[in-house]
Each structure stands twice: as structure tokens, then as C-alpha cells.
């Protein structure tokens, strides 16, 4: 997840974990939310929405399971589908920002990133009619300058501890298995309502039934005794990490 300085990549897994813990302590003032300390909870999060073919049945599924999640929305999608944004809010879920669009912020520098995020936050709040506090950088790409821009814009950065690779062309069973293996108690699970093109504009292919995927993930979490919550709930006792890549 996090890029380590060159020599550290030569260390074994245990030594790398210890080095990351030290780095997280040293860099705590510029850290991002990566989980929580309540190991009975996990945050299930969705990027890139809303999406007309996915969001309504997904909300119905989450209601049946009595689960609240966090939706990291793109402003361009939110403004095209304000009714879906309001439906997410009315269902009791948490609205968070993923960007005006899906551009990574580090190339913008601090001032450009700050202007971008300030505008994105204001426009998303205008659609959702609720305050927006959380921000997830597209592709997880973040520099110290873009992190500082997010904080200056009134946003707290959220990353993830488990990527189920639902952006790859995998079947539902493979995604659910990755979520099972990678997500531990107190973690943040990265999922997607829809997919944006890749960093170079390349098309991303996935034939997943995303609602079925989420249903099977929730069933697996229930079987493991893990309770899905919003990022806001999980971060009441937040676990943070130095995340720059």
C-alpha cells in the first residue's frame, strides 16, 4: 500500500512491518485514516459513484442487511445523478469525496490541489445537502503537498487496508475471497460502485455483478463476526498511517 524508501524494500516482511510502524509514529502529524481500533468493526466503502444501474439495488441490499457504509463520490457523477446522492443520504449512509473527477492530485502542487478540493467539497455538499468531511485520493496517489491541501480544505484523508481488486476483471468468488483474506477487524475495505478509466486513460474491464459481490462480502463478514460501519463510526478510534505514493 505505502511506498517505502529503497533500502527498506530489501527487508523481509516482518522487518518491513516494523519499519512501517516506526514510520507511522514519526509521520503521525501527516497521516491518513486507515482503520480503527475496534476489531469487531470494519468500514465498507464504495468509490467512483453514484451509478444508476448499481446504486439503487445496492441501497436496497444494504437496507436488508441493516448496514451503513461510506460512499466516496465523484462530483461529476453526483451532479449528473443528484437523486441518487439524496437516496444515499436518506438511507443513512455517509457521503465522502473522491474528487471532481478521477485525476490524481500530486501533479497539481499544493495550491492547485487546494483549489480543486475546495471546489469539489463545496459542489458535493451542494448536491448532498450534508457536510463532507472525508476524502479518498484517486488511485491512492498522495504527496505531502496534496495531503496538506486536503487538510487545508477541511477534509480528512481516508485510505484503505484491504483492496479486494474489484477493479480487475475477476469473478465474484475471487473478489470475495480477496476481501476475506485481506480484510481484518478494524480495517477499511475498498470496493467500487463503478469504474473510471485507469491512470493513463486506459479502459478498465470488469464484468462483475457488483450487487451480488457486496451481498456475498457482507455474508462473509457476518460469518466472521465483523460488523460493517461507516468510516466516521470506525474512525472514532482511528488507526492512521503515513501514506504517500
Q: Which of 3, 47, 83, 133 is catalytic?
A: 47
> What stretches of the chain show up as alpha helix (H) in DSSP?
13-26, 55-64, 75-80, 82-90, 109-128, 144-152, 172-182, 210-223, 231-234
Alpha-carbon span 94 to 88, nearest angstrom: 8
In our burial notation (b when 16+ CB lie closer than 10 A, e otherwise), range 201-213 reads eeeeebebebbeb
Q: Is 192 a catalytic residue?
A: yes
Q: Which of 81, 93, 102, 192 is catalytic?
A: 192
Strand duo 238-241 + 32-36: pairing:
antiparallel
Q: Is 48 a catalytic residue?
A: no
Task: Count CB atoms within 10 A of the CB of residue 22.
Answer: 11
Alpha-carbon span 60 to 222, nearest angstrom: 18
Joined grid coordinates for residue 113: 490541489
For the annotated catalytic residues, the residue numbers are: 47, 192
Amino acid at each position: 500500500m505505502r511506498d517505502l524508501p529503497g533500502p527498506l524494500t530489501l527487508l523481509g516482511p516482518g522487518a518491513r512491518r516494523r519499519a512501517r510502524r516506526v514510520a507511522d509514529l514519526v509521520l503521525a502529524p501527516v497521516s491518513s485514516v486507515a482503520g480503527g481500533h475496534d476489531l469487531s468493526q470494519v468500514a465498507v466503502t464504495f468509490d467512483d459513484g453514484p451509478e444508476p444501474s448499481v446504486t439503487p439495488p445496492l441501497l436496497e441490499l444494504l437496507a436488508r442487511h441493516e448496514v451503513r457504509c461510506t460512499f466516496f463520490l465523484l462530483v461529476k457523477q453526483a451532479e449528473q445523478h443528484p437523486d441518487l446522492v439524496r437516496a444515499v443520504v436518506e438511507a443513512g449512509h455517509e457521503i465522502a469525496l473522491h474528487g471532481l473527477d478521477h485525476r490524481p492530485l500530486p501533479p497539481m502542487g499544493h495550491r492547485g490541489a487546494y483549489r480543486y478540493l475546495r471546489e469539489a467539497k463545496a459542489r458535493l455538499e451542494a448536491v448532498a445537502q450534508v457536510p463532507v468531511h472525508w476524502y479518498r485520493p484517486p488511485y491512492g496517489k498522495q504527496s505531502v503537498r496534496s495531503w496538506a491541501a486536503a487538510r487545508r480544505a477541511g477534509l480528512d484523508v481516508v485510505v484503505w487496508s484491504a483492496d479486494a481488486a474489484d477493479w480487475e476483471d475477476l469473478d465474484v468468488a475471487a473478489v470475495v475471497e480477496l476481501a476475506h483474506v485481506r480484510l481484518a477487524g478494524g480495517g477499511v475495505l475498498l470496493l467500487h460502485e463503478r469504474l473510471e478509466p485507469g491512470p493513463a486513460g486506459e479502459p478498465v474491464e470488469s464484468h462483475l455483478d457488483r450487487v451480488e459481490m457486496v451481498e456475498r462480502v457482507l455474508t462473509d463478514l457476518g460469518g466472521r463476526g465483523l460488523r460493517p460501519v461507516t468510516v466516521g463510526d470506525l474512525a472514532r478510534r482511528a488507526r492512521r498511517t503515513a501514506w504517500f505514493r
